[in-house]
Amino acid sequence: MNDKTKNELENNHRVPFLPDALPFNEGQKQWLGGFMAGLHSRLLVTSDNQGAAAPAAAPAQKPLTIIYGSQTGNAESMAELAAEQAVSLGMKPVVMDMDDADIQQLARVERLLVVTSTYGEGEMPDNAEALWEAASADDAPSFANTFFSVLALGDTAYDGFCVAGKMWDERLAELGGQRVAERVDCDVDFEAPSQAWMDKALPEIAQKGTQGGGAEAEAEAAGTPASAPKKPKSKYNRQNPLLAELITKKVITGEGSSKEICHFELSLGDSGEQYEAGDAVYILPVNREDIVTEVLEALSARGDEKVAGSDKSLREVLTEDLEIRTPGKEFLAALSERADDSELTALVTGDDTEALADFLWGKDIVDLLAAYPAARFSVEEFVSLSRPLAGRAYSISSSLNKHENQVHVTIGSVRYHTNGRDHNGVCSTFLADVAQVGDKVQCYFAPNKNFAVPADKSLPIIMVGPGTGIAPFRAFLEEREVSAAGGDNWLFFGDRNASTDFIYEDELRAWQESGLLTRLDLAFSRDQKEKVYVQDRMLENGAEFYAWLEKGAYFYICGDAFRMAKDVDAALHKLIEQHGNKTADEAVEYVNALKKQKRYVRDVY
């Protein structure tokens, strides 16, 4: 409770307030304060005039619970925005991380909004796994007294588009929940459809339920330990990006490497923008001139045509506004209709997502237009079928406390040759080839509060980050160094060859010498006959790894989601079984407990 509110209550002499020392978190205090004030206003008789009726009480605020499942912070930001708007409609919202929610308590609330992203190819975000397991269980509680609506965030470039949100929507209805507004599925351009969902769902849910019904459950549901106070919301976002100056760019892999990894440094100037180690930065690129020219040729267009609804030329729209490399579902559907090819139609309209992914592997829109010349698109049709050009998120590889007013990123350049053409990653080669030192780069930050160094600086941390997955752990080590954290630090790093791919070697060796980096285990897969990976090093050191976990270590993974992260997770379960003398089921319980405690977190892509 802030001082202004407290003074107003004390001056009234009659309205109770909650002392700060009470053992409740902020969500509980807010709810209890409103409940007690409303109750008191209904019972109040003034001491000066015992017979006078109490003034009419203001309507009690209706509790609203908003839960979010988020991998990169977008779902969390939309949940918080929904909460802000709910207040203006007379509701008292509580925003909760799904990891902190209890399915039994949620079943007792009357008003529930669910905001969730989808991780990878149709999986729940990490922080939603435990709650979803409880919700999907055979003995899940009834939600018959709950009004709900779901906002789903996703990316149509993935086969599992918005699957997590769809599953929550269907399951809540199966459990008896009453849907007040249809689910909205958002693509990468999620802000406008999210707002449309709020415009519909919030007024509807505000009209449902009793005035204070489910309030006790709302307070109990909010009963998780409060994290650090929230920072002021940034004014920079996708619609209003920060213009950061590119001050350093250099290739940090050695000559002869099979890959190109670059280190970039951006100046934040006097923007005052802040971030934490573990956060991500979104870079908003422009499309390369060569791919724009290829698309124009495929459309038989000049580029100076005006685009309906825009004051830009077609070339400008293709360069600045549209995703012209990766085909979206709408484009693929239109392509199959025009191509008159039964095999393509079967792939696009069928349920075999793996076969479709195999077919699309390595192909971009220009490849597809060349492969199916019968599929012709007018300029207007192509523009309408194209997705907005989205920013690319990168794990930040610097600590703001060490590099004042700077942000560093570590990015592997995507380059390959197939179908007779060179293919280049949109953002990675925009930074590597197009943007020059001194240029302004559009960006904004995405908080990732769960992927952060422990608040208790004495706790040990274990980090697994091969290749560019080392990025956030460079930031972690810088942060631990600057803050003089006493906890031990253990890094597993690897790549193909030590001679060419040992990025940041000098920094890591210096941290070893200083004692900051307690252990450094390396896995360079091609430096010996038998390939060795980071998960192999984990198993080799399983006894000590488990001992660190028993001492309270936090465990972090960053990098490839589809193979590395799964292999590391399997190794984690195996070493816990072996060195903790546990069954497979007990190892699963142990890992789930780590996740619940936010001691096993991933930043994978």
Q: Tokens standing for 549?
A: 């976990």
Provide the 3-class DSSP secondary structure of residue 378.
Answer: coil
87 pLDDT above the threshold of 70: yes
Residues 149-161 as b or e (16 or more Cβ within 10 Å = b): bbbbbbbbbbbbb
Q: Is position 218 within any domain?
A: no
Which is nearest to 259 in space by CA: 406, 447, 466? 466
Q: Is position 30 within any domain?
A: no
d(CA 597, CA 227): 13
d(CA 374, CA 371): 9
Examine the domain organization and report whether 111 and 189 are in the same domain. yes
Q: What was the pLDDT predicted at 127?
A: 86
Q: How many residues does the chain have?
A: 605
Amino acid at 41: S
DSSP state of 434: I
% of the chain with per-residue pLDDT over 70: 86
The model's confidence at residue 231, banded by pLDDT at 50, 70 and 90, is low
Q: What is the CATH number of the domain that holds 419?
A: 2.40.30.10
Q: Is position 257 within any domain?
A: yes
Q: Tokens standing for 507?
A: 């920094």
Q: How far is CA 133 from CA 73, 120, 139, 314, in A?
A: 22, 18, 11, 48
- In this structure, are residues 153 and 75 in contact, taking their beta carbons and an 8 Å threshold? yes
Q: Is position 275 within any domain?
A: yes
Amino acid at 140: A
Q: What was the pLDDT predicted at 158?
A: 76
d(CA 497, CA 500): 6
Q: Residue 379: CB partners within 8 Å, gap ≥ 6?
A: 299, 301, 305, 307, 314
Q: Tokens standing for 547?
A: 């001992």
Residue bearing tokens 């729209």 = 317
d(CA 590, CA 600): 11
Residue bearing tokens 């807010």 = 30
Q: Is position 11 within any domain?
A: no
Q: What was the pLDDT predicted at 72?
A: 77
Q: What was the pLDDT predicted at 212?
A: 58
Distance, C-alpha 355 to centroid of its chain: 28
Q: What was the pLDDT predicted at 230?
A: 53
Q: Is position 340 within any domain?
A: yes
Examine the domain organization and report whether 190 and 76 are in the same domain. yes
For the ranges 67-81, 142-156, 396-410, 544-558, the lowest mean pLDDT is seen at 67-81
d(CA 212, CA 191): 31
Cβ neighbours, 10 Å, residue 23: 5
The model's confidence at residue 29, banded by pLDDT at 50, 70 and 90, is very low
Q: What was the pLDDT predicted at 67?
A: 98
Q: Is position 5 within any domain?
A: no
The model's confidence at residue 64, banded by pLDDT at 50, 70 and 90, is very high
Tens-digit pLDDT profile for residues 114-168: 999 998 777 898 889 889 999 999 999 999 999 999 999 998 777 788 999 999 9
Which is nearest to 399 in space by CA: 315, 522, 257, 507? 507
Mean pLDDT of 43-53: 39
173 pLDDT above the threshold of 90: yes
- In this structure, are residues 175 and 141 in contact, taking their beta carbons and an 8 Å threshold? yes
Q: What was the pLDDT predicted at 449?
A: 83
Q: What was the pLDDT predicted at 447?
A: 87
Exposure of 3 by Cβ count < 10 A (0-12 exposed, 13-18 middle, 19+ buried)? exposed
d(CA 20, CA 364): 58
Which residues make beta-bridge pairs with 200? none
253 pLDDT above the threshold of 60: yes
Question: What HEC string does 88-139 produce?
Answer: CCCEEEEEEEHHHCCHHHHCCCCEEEEEEECECCCECCHHHHHHHHHHCCCC
Which is nearest to 579 in space by CA: 553, 540, 605? 540
Q: What was the pLDDT predicted at 256?
A: 95
Q: What was the pLDDT predicted at 602?
A: 93
Examine the domain organization and report whether 433 and 401 are in the same domain. yes
The more confidently predicted of residues 283 and 235 is: 283
Examine the domain organization and report whether 293 and 362 are in the same domain. yes
Tens-digit pLDDT profile for residues 449-472: 889 999 999 999 999 999 999 999
229 pLDDT above the threshold of 90: no
Tens-digit pLDDT profile for residues 548-603: 999 999 999 999 988 999 999 999 999 999 999 999 999 999 999 999 899 999 99
Examine the domain organization and report whether 70 and 197 are in the same domain. yes
Mean pLDDT of 415-444: 97
Examine the domain organization and report whether 125 and 250 are in the same domain. no
Mean pLDDT of 467-484: 98
313, HSE (Cβ side, Cα atoms, 13 Å):
10
Residue where a domain terminates, one of 337, 353, 386: 386
Which is nearest to 502 in space by CA: 259, 186, 172, 290? 259
Distance, C-alpha 519 to centroid of its chain: 29
Q: What is the CATH number of the domain that holds 497?
A: 3.40.50.80
Q: Is position 108 within any domain?
A: yes
214 pLDDT above the threshold of 80: no
The more confidently predicted of residues 357 and 107 is: 107
Examine the domain organization and report whether 404 and 494 are in the same domain. no
Residue where a domain terminates, one of 357, 386, 415: 386
Examine the domain organization and report whether 257 and 398 are in the same domain. yes
304, HSE (Cβ side, Cα atoms, 13 Å):
0
Angle at 317 between CA 315 and CA 321, to 5 degrees: 140
Domain range for 159? 60-205
Examine the domain organization and report whether 267 and 395 are in the same domain. yes
Which is nearest to 519 in space by CA: 563, 478, 464? 464
Q: What is the CATH number of the domain that holds 184?
A: 3.40.50.360
Residue where a domain terminates, one of 158, 179, 205: 205
Examine the domain organization and report whether 184 and 132 are in the same domain. yes
- Mean pLDDT score of the chain, rounded to an integer? 88
Q: What is the CATH number of the domain that holds 361?
A: 1.20.990.10
Q: How far is CA 468 from CA 65, 481, 483, 507, in A?
A: 38, 21, 24, 15
Examine the domain organization and report whether 381 and 412 are in the same domain. no
Examine the domain organization and report whether 265 and 301 are in the same domain. no
Number of folded domains that form the chain: 4
Q: What was the pLDDT predicted at 37?
A: 38
Cβ neighbours, 10 Å, residue 418: 12
For the ranges 82-91, 104-113, 143-152, 156-165, the lowest mean pLDDT is seen at 156-165
Q: What was the pLDDT predicted at 162?
A: 93
Distance, C-alpha 526 to centroid of its chain: 33
For the ranges 154-163, 296-305, 365-374, the lowest mean pLDDT is seen at 154-163
Q: Tokens standing for 508?
A: 């890591």
Q: How far is CA 24 from CA 2, 20, 214, in A?
A: 16, 9, 18
For the ranges 72-76, 114-118, 128-132, 487-491, the lowest mean pLDDT is seen at 72-76
Q: How far is CA 561 from CA 531, 533, 539, in A?
A: 20, 15, 19
Mean pLDDT of 540-546: 98
